[in-house]
C-alpha cells in the first residue's frame, strides 16, 4: 500500500538505541505476495494446474522459490518431481524478474517511517533470503534504494538466515554493532536469526508466516509501521 501523502506526520523522538535497524524484505517492508502469486500461477498454468489464491500464497512464501513451488504443487495435485524442480524454479524466476514491481508496494507508512529513521541518523539495512539481484531490483524500482545502503540477499554469502552470520554481516557492512542493533521481520526464520545473534527482534503482524505472529517469541509485535517508534523505545529502555 502506498503511503498516504496527505496524512500529517508526527516527528519521531530521538532514540539513543538501537543505532542500526535491519529489516527483512518480503512481508516486512514490502507486500510482494501479489507479484509472487502471479509468477507462481504462470508456472501452474503451464502445467495445467489450478491457480493458487493470493491468500494461500501469503502463507507459503518466506523460504525461497523452490519451497514455494513445492508447496503449490502439493496443493494443486501431485507433488513436484525433484528432477523437474530446477526448471520450474527457473521459469518462476524469469517471470518474477520481468514483473517484480507490477503490484508489489511498501506496506502502509513503511517508506515514511524508514525515511524518518534514516534522517535521524539510524543506519538502515536489509537482510533477506530473497536473491540479492532480485532484492536490489525490487528496492530500486520502488525508489527506496537511498534508504538502504546495504542489502544482503540469500546468495550474498555462503550462508543465509537463520544463520546469524547473515545478520552480523549486514550490521557490520553498515558500520554498526550487534550490541546496538535490532532486526525487524515477519517470520520464524527472522526470530531464530535474531536469537542466534543475540539481537532484539520486532515482528510485524501483517507479514507472511504460518505461525501466528504473537507465537513467534519476538520481543515485540507491531500491527502497523506507526507502532514501530513505541516498539523501538521499549527496546531502548531495556538496554
Say yes or no: 117 and 84 in one domain.
Answer: no
Q: Supply the pLDDT for residue 14.
A: 46
Convert the pLDDT of each residue in 69-99 to its tens digit. 999 999 999 988 888 899 999 999 999 999 9
In a domain, 201, yes or no: yes
How are beta strands 105-106 and 220-222 bridged, if at all?
A: unpaired
CA 185 centroid distance within chain: 6
Which is the catalytic residue, given 24, 31, 169, 219? 24
Burial of 42 (0-12, 13-18, 19+ CB in 10 A): middle
Whole-structure pTM value: 0.89
Q: Which domain holds residue 67?
A: 33-98
Q: Supply the pLDDT for residue 16.
A: 53
Say yes or no: 24 and 92 in one domain.
Answer: no
**Number of structural domains, the chain?**
2
- What is the distance between the alpha carbons of residues 202 and 213, in angstroms, rounded to a whole number? 10
**Coil, strand, or helix at residue 221?**
strand
Q: 231 and 117 in contact (C-beta within 8 Å)?
A: no
Question: Which H or E run includes 228?
Answer: helix 228-238
Q: 176 and 122 in contact (C-beta within 8 Å)?
A: no
Residues in the chain predicted with pLDDT less than 50, given as ranges, are 1-2, 4-15
Say yes or no: 113 and 218 in one domain.
Answer: yes
Say yes or no: 62 and 27 in one domain.
Answer: no
Say yes or no: 135 and 111 in one domain.
Answer: yes
Say yes or no: 129 and 198 in one domain.
Answer: yes
Q: Supply the pLDDT for residue 6.
A: 34
Q: Supply the pLDDT for residue 65.
A: 87
Say yes or no: 92 and 122 in one domain.
Answer: no
Residues near 7 by beta carbon (within 8 Å), at least 6 away in sequence: none
Convert the pLDDT of each residue in 12-27 to its tens digit. 444 456 999 999 999 9
Say yes or no: 109 and 213 in one domain.
Answer: yes
Question: Which H or E run includes 151?
Answer: strand 150-152
Q: Supply the pLDDT for residue 186.
A: 96
Is 169 considered catalytic here? no
Q: Supply the pLDDT for residue 71.
A: 93
Amino acid at each position: 500500500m502506498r503511503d498516504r501523502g496527505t496524512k500529517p506526520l508526527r516527528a519521531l523522538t530521538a532514540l539513543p538505541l538501537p543505532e542500526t535497524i535491519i529489516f527483512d524484505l518480503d512481508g516486512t517492508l514490502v507486500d510482494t505476495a501479489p507479484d509472487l502469486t502471479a509468477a507462481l500461477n504462470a508456472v501452474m498454468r503451464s502445467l495445467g494446474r489450478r491457480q493458487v489464491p493470493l491468500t494461500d500464497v501469503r502463507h507459503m512464501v518466506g523460504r525461497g522459490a523452490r519451497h514455494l513451488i513445492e508447496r503449490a504443487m502439493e496443493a494443486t495435485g501431485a507433488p513436484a518431481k525433484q528432477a523437474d524442480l530446477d526448471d520450474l524454479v527457473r521459469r518462476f524466476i524469469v517471470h518474477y524478474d520481468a514483473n517484480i514491481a507490477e503490484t508489489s508496494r511498501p506496506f502502509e507508512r513503511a517508506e515514511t517511517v524508514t525515511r524518518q529513521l534514516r534522517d535521524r541518523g539510524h543506519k538502515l539495512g536489509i537482510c533477506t533470503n530473497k536473491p540479492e539481484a532480485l532484492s536490489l531490483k525490487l528496492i530500486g524500482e520502488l525508489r527506496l534504494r537511498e534508504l538502504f545502503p546495504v542489502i544482503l540477499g540469500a546468495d550474498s554469502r555462503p550462508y543465509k538466515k537463520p544463520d546469524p552470520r547473515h545478520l552480523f554481516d549486514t550490521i557490520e557492512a553498515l558500520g554498526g554493532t550487534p550490541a546496538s542493533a535490532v532486526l525487524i521481520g515477519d517470520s520464524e526464520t527472522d526470530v531464530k536469526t535474531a536469537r542466534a545473534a543475540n539481537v532484539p527482534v520486532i515482528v510485524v503482524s501483517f507479514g507472511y508466516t504460518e505461525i501466528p505472529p504473537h507465537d513467534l517469541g519476538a520481543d515485540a509485535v507491531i500491527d502497523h509501521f506507526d507502532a514501530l517508534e513505541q516498539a523501538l523505545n521499549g527496546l531502548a529502555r531495556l538496554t
